[in-house]
Structure 1
Amino acid sequence: MKFTGKLKQPIIDYLSGRMAVLFEPNEDFRQAYEELKGCDKLSFEIKPYRAKRSLDANAYYWVLITKLAKKISISNLELHNMMLRMYGQAEIIEGKAVYLTIPDTEEAERKVNNATDYHLQATSQVREGNDGIMYRTYKLLRGSHTYNTEEMARLIDGLVQCCKDAGIPDSDIASPDEKRILKERYGVDIG
């Protein structure tokens, strides 16, 4: 069960010193309360609300990926990874970007370019390991399925520009109705 709402002032029991937190849900919480009121222990995750991107934006993104990949003769996965490297978001843990090293080989690069379970961006940093093999440092990128509306709009904006640069006509990029919806919902201006 997921709910949105506001945290209210905490209540402190002065005898025990324990704190209770009041949460005012935006949605109707009555059924959830009835189901959970007898539980001795619950798990909560509280974080700032951010609008998620819609599946419409995701579907549009993959339509454009398919058109551009066909135009420039590469796989959809390879193009998707290229777009994430150019317009994507780094994976951040405790305020820091995540980096890893892998062998600096053509095979490793090919695998990275067509990966679906992870997304990496090569850096210029290459070093020799204790085993005598050269290793390249990569930045770990978040998958686009984790993007909010703003992040997805940036990714789509970049893809649209790449489509235009490749000579794909505006009429093939989006219909007038699609252009209006993308502008209104996501701030993507195709022109």
Structure 2
Amino acid sequence: MKLKAGSFLYYLYVDRLYCLMSVRNTNVLMEYFKLLDVHNKNTLNDIQFYHFMHHTTDLKKKEILQVFDMLDWNARGEISFELFYMLVCILICNEQKMEKQFIYRHSLSVFELLDLDGRHTINPTEFQNSGFLFNLKGHALQQIFMDFDASGDEKLSYKEFQMFAICCIEKQKEAQRMETRKDGTEEQAVKHSIKSIKSIKSIRA
């Protein structure tokens, strides 16, 4: 799941530690939410939600409506600003490659979001159908489920999901370390090139 170029959400940021927006950004998002809420009900219905997601993300209609159903857990046909706020945080974290950090910091909220039938467990179908929200797809999803289903009952309890969340943050930290090493290597290469050029110039002089 990615944001479309030029999306309003590109101008919002989340804290890299807790994956939440600042008070200023939250107020800006609140004003944006009010513009979407044309009926002044302090909620968004499925049509309003669809058009928002269609214009800001690359998700297909089926996926957008699925996300709405995930957020609308009480089947009221509308979502509040609090749920909208959480979704926007997820979208921004995905764009900034911090989705694993979000899962770790808000594991209970994510667990409840993925628990589509409200039975306090996540089954393989729920995991497979909702993984796209955090850019988890394909064979990786199946492997993750098998690795953390410690009880072997083909269901993830919250405790098992917490282990998955801890693993997520470790993988994200490792990816960040690799990125830092890569940047350091590239910086050294640039410095070496500059040094070589200066040496050549001094020899020619």
State TM-score, norm by structure 2.
0.25
Structure richer in strand, relative to its length? 1
Structure richer in helix, relative to its length? 2
Q: Which protein has the larger Cα radius of gyration, Structure 1 or Structure 2?
A: 1
State TM-score, norm by structure 1.
0.27
